[in-house]
């Protein structure tokens, strides 16, 4: 894992909200999968609940998504991100990458102090809304989180990357 890349990806988060501590990205044909270790020592917005909640799952998803996209750009993976430079990623990370639809289901409580997440980009598509404009990119993703005690959640998200 490239810790400089992870540090750069997480730079936009407040220091106490940098939950992704390590990650790896694997490519299998059209499928891109990122797996990360997460650690939430203290919630950024609520008193201790003793379990991972949907707000923090969304933050974890977002951090792992950024890392998967940044790695895909750096390694020139796939038809969508192989044309981007790292400067393109840094410029577009916050204003252009949008979670358009997000759902999660909790199956068993997860200990937020130490758990794993896996994010899979299952399908990508792109189309131009106007001639000469950057294409609108759509990512269909799924994710799951788990801990060593049997805690589990899963979900899906649609991500839109708009032109800047």
- Taking the C-alpha atoms of residue 1 and residue 41, their distance in angstroms, rounded to an integer, is 22
Mean pLDDT of the chain: 93
Task: Name the percent of the chain lying above pLDDT 70.
Answer: 98
User: Does position 136 have pLDDT exceeding 80, yes or no?
Assistant: yes
Given a contact cutoff of 8 angstroms between Cβ atoms, the answer to whether 118 and 35 are in contact is yes
pLDDT at residue 111, as a whole number: 96
Given a contact cutoff of 8 angstroms between Cβ atoms, the answer to whether 146 and 110 are in contact is yes
Fold of 3-161: Thiol Ester Dehydrase; Chain A (3.10.129)
Q: What's the pLDDT tens digit per position in 84-119?
A: 999 999 999 999 999 999 999 999 999 999 999 999
Task: Name the percent of the chain lying above pLDDT 90.
Answer: 79
pTM: 0.94
User: Does position 164 have pLDDT exceeding 80, yes or no?
Assistant: no
Nearest to 106 by CA among 158, 49, 54, 64: 54
User: Does position 131 have pLDDT exceeding 90, yes or no?
Assistant: no
């Amino acid at each position: 894992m490239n810790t400089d890349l992870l540090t750069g990806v997480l730079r936009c988060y407040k220091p106490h909200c940098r939950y992704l501590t390590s990650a790896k990205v694997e490519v299998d044909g059209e499928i891109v999968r990122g797996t990360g270790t997460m650690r939430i020592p203290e919630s950024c917005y609520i008193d201790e609940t003793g379990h991972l909640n949907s707000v923090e799952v969304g933050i974890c998803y977002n951090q792992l998504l950024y890392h998967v996209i940044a790695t895909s750009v750096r390694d020139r993976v796939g038809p969508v991100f192989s044309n981007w430079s790292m400067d393109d990623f840094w410029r577009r990370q916050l204003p252009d990458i949008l979670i358009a639809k997000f759902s999660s289901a909790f199956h068993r409580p997860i200990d937020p102090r130490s758990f794993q997440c896996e994010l899979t980009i299952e399908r990508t598509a792109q189309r131009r809304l106007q001639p000469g404009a950057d294409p609108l990119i759509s990512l269909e993703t799924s994710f799951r989180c788990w801990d060593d005690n049997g805690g589990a959640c899963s979900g899906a998200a649609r991500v839109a990357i708009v032109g800047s």
